[in-house]
Amino acid sequence: MSKPYTEAHFSAQIIEDRNWRIKEISDLKAAIRRGDEGVQRVLLRALVAICYAHWEGYIRFSAKKYLEHIALRRFQYGDLNRQFFRNYFLPRLAALSTTKANIADRCDLVDQILNSADVRFTRVNDDLINTKANLNFEVLTDICLVCGLPAEIFVEKSTFIDVMLLKRRNAIAHGENTLVDLNELDEITIETIGLMRTFGDALENHVVLQTYKVI
């Protein structure tokens, strides 16, 4: 896949990625409706796992493409929203917290922070977009922060994310006999697709309006 050099490239790539995920969810939903009771029971459990997988996969893919798009434009950190400057130093701060760094090392980091406004953002640190294989609302909030998105847009869906998707997915993945009711079919699929659209649309708005830059 080509790099998202332009706004159009970025939008096309995250929409294409979302569309194939939506199609797979929709195809499975149709198969469930056609199946008999026994088949439905199995496929409904599979649906939860698939919906969670696409939810996590899309968040990771689109967030990284967003940061990559901005990195390709090679802005100085002084021209970008302060969160990008924070992101630049988060890995260093994490490393210092796990080592016995001396005062000189800590002072060096402070000096870098004070003198890096003219450094250019050219590389995405993949560790910053970490779903931890358990994309609950708390982890999503961290990813939103890294991307400069308001996590508040997902608050009303936090229970769905944590319980309907993640908790059930974990139970099913660990071999528990968790039942999913046919009456929940629409909620699971519609809400999952809606969450992906909300995240993708928010990133697209940032790109189109260039709200990632200092006003």
Token reading at 16: 């294409």
Report mean pLDDT in 10-residue bins for the chain, 215 residues. 93 98 98 96 97 98 97 93 89 76 82 84 90 96 96 97 97 94 97 98 97 87
**pLDDT score, position 94:** 75
**pLDDT score, position 137:** 98
**pLDDT score, position 215:** 67
**pLDDT score, position 89:** 87
CA distances from 37 to 32, 126, 197 (A): 9, 43, 31
**pLDDT score, position 208:** 96
